[in-house]
Amino acid sequence: MPAIWIGVPTFRRPKQLRHLLETLPAMADRHDVMLLVADNDPVAQEGAAVVRAMQAEGYRLPVTLLTVPNPGLCAVRNAITETALGDPAMRFLAMIDDDEWPQPGWLDALLICQAQVGADVVAGPVDSCFIGSPPRWARETLVFRPEQRPWGSTGMLWASNNLLVTRRALERLGVPWFDPRFNRSGGEDLDFLARLYEAGARFGWSPDARVSEWVTPERARLSWVLRRMWRIGCTETMARRKALPGCIGSARLLARSLAILGLRTVGLAAMLLPGARRVDIAGQWIKSWGRLYALAGGAQSHYGAL
């Protein structure tokens, strides 16, 4: 019986999904793996068509295919989690996005770190793979740089696009694992991890558990990167606001956000220095305004189905 489930949410990325599925068998060459693909487009079902075609071609991994009719990030992630937990033999759920693919040793590195650290959740870095020739600043900016941490126990984790979660952790959290309030805005994975952290889950980091992510030319633009920083500010604040409800919590978040904005505004002067990472400096300033926007009640919908 499969003890390790690999969950892939997908929405209208058939080429990227096929590349991921073609890569996975060599990176998850084990007898106890089940691949779970959840297509969040019930009309076109391009992802489901890719899975069926590859199964007809003799795909090496066992695959469970879901069609998730309810649109949104939380809907598809919750469907994956519920299905995986429905298998009593499932011990680990690995999460990877449909525009990514694992590098050699990915799954083993996650499992080794989990076993040696005794972690409830293990994550690894995501390397950007640019399509075409991006500007130099794009390769250097924070948005596209892989996170670096030492191997072993670690603090708060931030995203679910390269993650291994134990069954114990998922059962500890309970339903819904991903809060529907974040369904269209994003930030559902940050809220998921924050609740696990508050519940006492232990986190681990494995630098060798690497995945690669496609970066399209549209994303390697200054306008996209700055909008991304704005969204991060919004979603981080939405998650924190949920954890600190009421007037006192809002006042604390407002004071913190204003203080950060003040520091980032003063820090804009550093853009004049030779060698300054100007995009990151500007992005952090815009991220601060995104925090205030969220505190003022602003909500953005960035995702249709996924």
Residues 170 and 242 in one domain: no
Question: What is the pLDDT confidence band of residue 1, given thresholds at 50, 70 and 90?
Answer: low
Residues 182 and 226 in one domain: no
- Res. 34: pLDDT tops 60: yes
At 74-112, the pLDDT tens digits run 999 999 999 999 999 999 999 999 999 999 999 999 999
Task: Give the Cα separation of 151 and 131 in Å (integer).
Answer: 30
At 222-274, the pLDDT tens digits run 999 999 999 999 999 988 888 888 889 889 999 999 999 999 999 999 999 99
Angle ∠(222,41,64) on CA atoms, nearest 5: 115
Put residue 4 in one of left, alpha, beta given phi > 0 → left and psi -120 to 50 → alpha: beta
What is the mean pLDDT of the segment spanning 278-285?
97
Is residue 301 domain-resident?
no
Residues 102 and 211 in one domain: yes
Show the domain range for 280.
222-295
Angle ∠(91,178,197) on CA atoms, nearest 5: 70
Residues 15 and 119 in one domain: yes
Angle ∠(65,69,73) on CA atoms, nearest 5: 85
Residues 145 and 40 in one domain: yes
What is the mean pLDDT of the segment spanning 157-186?
93
Residues 87 and 184 in one domain: yes
Task: Give the Cα separation of 113 and 231 in Å (integer).
Answer: 31
At 35-73, the pLDDT tens digits run 999 999 999 999 999 999 999 999 999 999 999 999 999
Is residue 305 domain-resident?
no
* The amino acid at 299: A
Is residue 303 domain-resident?
no
Is residue 198 domain-resident?
yes
Residues 191 and 246 in one domain: no
Identify whether the C-beta of residue 236 lies closer than 8 Å to the C-beta of residue 187.
Answer: yes
* The amino acid at 147: E
Is residue 281 domain-resident?
yes
| CA dist 54 → 18, 27, 50, 60, 272 (Å) | 8, 17, 6, 9, 53
Tell me whether residue 113 is exposed, middle or buried, using C-beta atoms within 10 angstroms of its C-beta: 0 to 12, 13 to 18, 19 or more. Answer: buried
Residues 124 and 209 in one domain: yes
Q: Domain holding 63: CATH number? A: 3.90.550.10
Is cis: bond before 176, omega within 30 of 0?
yes
Is residue 141 domain-resident?
yes
* The amino acid at 248: I
> What H or E segment, with its residue span, contains residue 167?
helix 167-173
Residues 255 and 162 in one domain: no
Number of domains in the chain: 2
- Res. 6: pLDDT tops 50: yes
Angle ∠(9,10,15) on CA atoms, nearest 5: 140
